Structure 1
């Protein structure tokens, strides 16, 4: 797997190990031919897959936030197909309402409550 993609994906994969998460079958199957991007596939337990990608050469924070959005979309679909709650990662302030949102804040990639704009944790530290 392309180094920048693997590095940006690492903290998100760590967060998927936390409560309410689901582990993907991550495959190094590039699906974009653009030399300025790196891509791979995430597969769910039901066999469905979704491509993820980043633009190479961007700041790591930008890459992590972009991937977090894509992985979150995959996780929501995977959890739905399993009959589980789809608000991953769940907002601790509104646990039955909505998931957290990935944003870049002060040079860091963080999960925030989209309603309150409250920072919850740095991406990669949910499972800690």
Structure 2
């Protein structure tokens, strides 16, 4: 994955984060750890090159990494540790980043229903 592809994929996931998450990350590029996402409490998590052979698989992999950060940051902030929210089961569980065909989507882990492309979630 090129730097431009990584930036494009991260921008898509961050659009979803801004749409439905109350916690905002601070980024730092660390020479040893790579790109770090920091929560308001100072805790951080590295974001690595996403895995997958297709662009959709890499986007879903990156969404998983950001989701892991968001759930921890929300919990630390005392908020519901669910991101992105499943419209079928509010505050029960987050949506899951999956790939259908050539598209990275957010889907319900219980029903399997698709709830939008990664990068296109609507504000809550």
Give me the TM-score of the superposition, normalised by structure 1: 0.85
* 1:35 alignment counterpart: none
- 1:97 and 2:92 are equivalent in the alignment: yes
* 2:108 alignment counterpart: 113
* Alpha-carbon offset, residue 127 of structure 1: 3.2
* 2:29 alignment counterpart: 28
* 1:19 alignment counterpart: 20
- 1:83 and 2:89 are equivalent in the alignment: no
C-alpha RMSD of matched pairs (Å): 2.1
Residues 51, 57 of structure 2: 8 Å contact kept: no
Higher-helix-fraction structure: 2
Distance 1:31 1:105 in 2: 35
* 2:66 alignment counterpart: 71
Residues 5, 53 of structure 1: 8 Å contact kept: no
* 2:57 alignment counterpart: 62
Distance 2:114 2:51 in 1: 27
Structure 2 unaligned spans of 5+: none
Q: 1:97 to 1:4 in 2, by over 3 A?
A: same
Q: 1:51 to 1:117 in 2, by over 3 A?
A: same
Which runs of structure 1 show a deviation greater than 6 angstroms over 4 or more consecutive aligned residues? none
Distance 2:52 2:88 in 1: 35
* 1:5 alignment counterpart: 6
SS at match of 2:85: coil
